[in-house]
Chains A and B, each alone.
Chain A
């Protein structure tokens, strides 16, 4: 919050114009910062006779800040405004304790822009990155996310995930007059796009591994059913409509199969459907609730929630069924598990003295670590590079999305301008 307050008048003006352009967008409030975050100065790009509609440097700085790994200097603390390597006085940047410096210029190019940016290591006094990218006016935000990805990867060695998207569900009103909607947005909450509305519940959106489709559960027929919607065309297919619960769709890593929970045989069991042939294989056989399947990144194992012990806990089994093994033993409520991209960590919802919180369990040590500080947290969804987890939480009586770094050290919330927001799902890499 402090950082926001420290913005210069110029920036506030800039933000006001951005907000006016996209009023449905989610905003960001940083709620916890990492003390060890790397200080980086992202100098506003010099406009060479142009005034692009997006403040590229601001988008880059906010991306880096949200990762929890970087602490961008506020613009008021920038000691000078270099636009290229020749203008840099290293001693100045050492004095303000910046470890890295990003400079750049924007020029007109055809109908769009040419963006030149460079990344410098202050201690080593050397250039780490330099690149020229072109962009139309509409592409400026996505180009800025690209630049943030390049900087992030250069410094951390981890692939950036700033060009990814999220899906989420909103609800407005009180039963029986609730309006539900399914949205997709950039990972920073911008560029929201409504892809479905209904007066019946929508839940459990899941991105296909190629990033082209969303599977979700919709009650629009009066009964729950699983649908798959192509994002580019809006064209969709109803994949299931069995008697009872049709829930928790989860794509296999190769996109050919979908695990799901169906209660057509009397109580919820885990099934796998071949998406092309619709052939169905039942994997579990218990009188308990078996739901929330999730595939290990290598596709060999399915994680799921079951209350066969009397309380919901996470279990694993072979992706073809069998070899069931209980995974969680800490506390009496562990559910909604998702593998991190390296397959070594599972993110889940656990019930603690405080309430329902997002946690991670290390699969080697079995140790469970609570990541969030609030009490009604659910639906953790992991960024494809494993660095961040987005989840649903409550602010007062309002459902909002929260995000926390996978190490738990930094967090932020994305309040929506209206309605209850829930059920986030993070896309795979889209670039």
Chain B
């Protein structure tokens, strides 16, 4: 009975954290962290999903490890310790991906080892995992990872549809690729698409904040 109750409480907590991570503190569209992979791998949806899953794995594992050892790590050397933990996890990920998903490994290219310097991961280790319990840190890692992946997928969908006329991974072709704006799968389009999406999202957030303020008054 006690176990069931804890499970229920955990589920509620997880959902609440997920909502905070995805909507209120979205790492990509609200705090603008980890811009390099956000722009670099979103030229198609498959890459974005691969990157998202990799980040969820590394973020959840690093949060768990950091929160379980942070009691014994001296304050002065905590950043090098965290970086070593993250780099080890990324190396494991690289080796697994090279063996089982060689296509994804080549198309993610340099952005796979660069997960080491992803600001979100070090930021969560420093600001959340080092001060919280293991279970909460695991939840935090997964929820923030999901928020990051969803943002990547949103941006990649936008870019791939405009740039190629469809989504290759799902075999969807909305309009002919001859009529597409190839610009959007290239580097210029990455900046433009992200800028436009960030604009729309910040506009929506401002409208919602104004509505909430009016309701309170």
**Do A and B interact?**
no
Chain A residues within CB distance 8 Å of chain B: none
